[in-house]
Amino acid sequence: MERAKTYRKPGVTERLWLGLEKVLNLLTTSAYNPFYYLGAISIFFLWIIFITGIYLFVFYSISAAGAYNSVQYLTVNQWYLGGVIRSLHRYASGGLVIAALTHGLRHYVLDRYKHWRWVSWVTGIGMVLVIIVGGIFGYALVWDQRAQFIAISLSKMIESVPVFGMPMSISFARIENLADQVFYLLLAVHFFAIIAVTVLVMIHLGRVAKSVINPPKVMAYGLVAVLFLLSFLRPAVSSGPANLKALPQAMPFDWLYMFMFPLMRYMTEHELWLFIVALVLIVSIIPWLTAEKKNPEVQVTKENCTGCELCREDCPYGAIQMIKRTDGMPYELEAVVVNKRCASCGICMGACDYKALNLPDLTEDALKAEIERLSTELAGAQGKKVVVFNCAKGAWPDGVLEAGGRVKGFDWARIVTLQCIGMLQPSMLSIPFENGIDGVFISGCRMGDCSFRSGNEWLVGRINGYRTPVVKKSLDRSRIGTAWLSAVEKDAMLKELGQFHKNLK
């Protein structure tokens, strides 16, 4: 029998990306796959930038005459400390751009940027902009030839917009025109960038409940090790001191931050502005350009809600709010869904023991009936029998929905597909056993990479008994098998399933 609800299969780029991550998992295991922690890695770099920045600031001379030498002092005389700190500051900034861009690209490729995620998407772009502006001003502070080139190019860009109206180019035309105030301004913008990013990070994560903002310890050590490695391989240095009487010549260029200046060779300032603004706008509205219809949001059946708050606790997007009871029932609170934040993942359904939550296109009753139907259908079969719960975002065999939960060569199994494995409510796990099934197999996304952020993690907690609602103690855990695999690993998933079946007693 066919089921009404269907699920999207990953496209080509998505499969390629997941394929790369699959290879990395062989090396790092999913617990330490950096691709699963790119946001946290970005924040880690921000911390390093902030802390090393304080040290650099202490020694920095905010003046046209002193800036270059004060940085040279750190780099040359104090190479063992100031020089290293400067290098860490530099390379953490580079790492930040790489990590943030990869993080954003990953969300795009894996189709995790639309609908309720738009706030994260748009603020993410804002952060990249602020970071790049901050970095450019940082390079200007050094006041070497690279800084001179930046100052001159940036001045032209700024002046070309009448609202700014600041005649900066005159300041940078002759050293006599260059007031120290200019350096205060550069420093202020540079420092303001980190404050602006902090604010944006907060908005970025406003809808992301219990966000992962720190990489695992092992990875943090790894990041520090890489930064030190780069610092020793190639310490950050200045080019020659700025000389306004000469055009800056060949300089070590940071393409991660200064990529747009070379374009000024081919475009006027206004064209470049147009290019930047158009690019930013287009990337910002991609979530709306590509949006397909959103799945219907979860609905609360108020009569059944006891106000236990478990759904609020488990919702990965903070889409459930507990408000004061409005219907006179003897409970203090009731759950309310904020639709625009809701991902329709059903994780809250998995948390609710009172039948108070339902996805309109896959209600608890319908789901339980399906489990029951497939279980009884299978019960009469020979040998050991397994019911499989399968996350639609993870690894699942093609055509299983159309085949009514059957997979060729696995006659002893029936597969129930869920929007997210976190939707699996403990009482649903008991149904197959009550109907004469020998084992239950659970297949969800890679740990650390749940499409809905924490569905798989919460489920493991429920089964292992440390997260409410817990799976009954009386269920034999050796009859529950799991596979945490990505959408490109369906062969591995079926192999694990076969193995589990073979080992069932």
Partner 1 sequence: MSDKKNVSAGEGTKKPKKPLEIISFIRVTAVLIVFIGLPVLILSNISYSFYSPQESAIKVAFQHTGKRIVDCDEKDLIKEEGKRYRELLKTEKRISMNMGKLAGCPRERFPVVVDLSIDGRTMLDRAYKPKGIKRDMASYIYDDFIISPGVHRIAVAMYDSGNKNKADATLDETVDIKPGDVKVLRFDDASNKLVVE
| Residues near ligand SF4, by CB under 6 A | 298, 300, 305-311, 315, 317, 319-320, 335, 337, 342-348, 351-352, 354, 356-357
What SS3 string covers 207-228?
Answer: CCCCCCCCCCHHHHHHHHHHHH
Q: What are phi and psi of 300, to 5 degrees?
A: -95, 130
> Does 305 sit near ligand HEM (CB under 6 A)?
no
306 binds, among ligand HEM, ligand SF4, partner 1, none (CB under 5 to 8 A by kind): ligand SF4
183 binds, among ligand HEM, ligand SF4, partner 1, none (CB under 5 to 8 A by kind): none
How far is Cα 447 from Cα 353, in angstroms, rounded to an integer? 25
Give the side-chain half-sphere CA count within 13 A for 181.
Answer: 4
Q: How far is the CB of 357 from ligand SF4 (least distance, A)?
A: 5
Closest CA to 169 of 185, 157, 186, 187: 157
- Nearer to ligand SF4 (CB atom), residue 67 or residue 423: 423
Is there a contact between 26 and 32 (Cβ–Cβ < 8 Å)? no
Cis, bond preceding 469 (omega within 30 deg of 0): yes
201 binds, among ligand HEM, ligand SF4, partner 1, none (CB under 5 to 8 A by kind): ligand HEM
- Nearer to ligand HEM (CB atom), residue 124 or residue 394: 124
Query: Which 32-51 positions form the footprint of ligand HEM (CB under 6 A)?
Result: 39-40, 42-43
- 266 is written with which tokens? 């081919």
Q: How far is the CB of 30 from partner 1 (least distance, A)?
A: 7
Displacement of CA 422 from its chain's centroid (Å): 19
Q: How far is the CB of 391 from ligand SF4 (least distance, A)?
A: 13
> With CB under 6 A as the contact rule, which of the stretches 182-190, 206-214, 222-230, 331-339 interacts with ligand HEM?
206-214
Torsion of CA 37, 40, 44, 45, to 10 degrees: 70
> Does 3 sit near ligand HEM (CB under 6 A)?
no
Q: How far is the CB of 265 from partner 1 (least distance, A)?
A: 7
Q: At 441, which helix (H) or strand (E)? A: strand 439-444
> Does 92 sit near ligand HEM (CB under 6 A)?
no
Amino acid (one-letter) located at 58: V
Q: What are phi and psi of 484, to 5 degrees?
A: -110, 100
Q: How far is the CB of 206 from partner 1 (least distance, A)?
A: 27
How far is Cα 299 from Cα 426, in angstroms, rounded to an integer? 20
Give the footprint of ligand HEM on this chain (CB under 6 A): 39-40, 42-43, 100, 103-104, 107, 112-113, 117, 120-121, 124-125, 127-128, 201, 204-205, 208, 211-213, 453
